[in-house]
């Protein structure tokens, strides 16, 4: 699928973010190896710690649909930014090399490409 399709899905999902406290809107779109797209947005709560990030809403939506093979994620936010530490670990569960495309929602021509291996070296692994 074209890169633009995933970026457009992240930008659209961002418009549905529920962020009345921070006012910082984030959208995410995950492409699975089966070619499907699952979107997410941040959902805040008046009990602030219950807030969930866009990346994790997208990931949980994919997993709930039986899709665990993540090929790529696109993230839309205002300005420059990268996934938070919790989201990095959460996504690494499904693909520790996940390519990440980050688009500036204020200027969608500004796109940064990175990946989870770069952003999360030394991830936690459950080894018995
Ligand atoms: N947020 C995300 O959705 N993803 C991240 O990777 C970092 C932060 C959200 C959480 C909160 O609703 C707002 O951005 C400000 O922290």
Q: For the whole model, what pTM was predicted? A: 0.97
Q: Write the pLDDT tens digit of every residue in 84-127.
A: 999 999 999 999 999 999 999 999 999 999 999 999 999 999 99
CB atoms within 10 A of CB 19: 16
* Residue in 20, 43, 46, 53 to alter for ligand 1 test, most ligand atoms within 8 A of Cβ: 53
| Size of the chain in residues | 128
Given a contact cutoff of 8 angstroms between Cβ atoms, the answer to whether 12 and 78 are in contact is no
pLDDT at 2 over 90: no
Average of per-residue pLDDT across 28-41? 98
Q: Annotated catalytic residue: which of 12, 31, 44, 55?
A: 55
**Structure confidence at residue 128 (pLDDT):** 85
Ligand 1, CB within 6 Å, residue ranges:
19, 22, 24, 26, 42, 44, 51, 53-55, 83-84, 87
pLDDT, the chain, mean: 97
């Amino acid at each position: 699928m074209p890169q633009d399709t995933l970026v457009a899905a992240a930008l659209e999902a961002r418009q549905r973010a529920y962020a009345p406290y921070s006012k910082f809107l984030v959208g995410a779109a995950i492409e699975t190896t089966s070619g499907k797209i699952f979107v997410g947005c941040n959902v805040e709560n008046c009990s602030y710690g219950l807030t969930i990030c866009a990346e994790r809403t997208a990931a949980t939506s994919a997993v709930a649909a039986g899709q665990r093979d993540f090929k790529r994620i696109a993230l839309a936010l205002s300005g420059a930014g990268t996934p938070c530490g919790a989201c990095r670990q959460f996504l690494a569960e499904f693909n520790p090399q996940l390519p990440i495309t980050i688009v500036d929602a204020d200027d969608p021509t500004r796109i940064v490409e990175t990946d989870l291996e770069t952003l999360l070296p030394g991830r936690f692994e459950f080894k018995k």
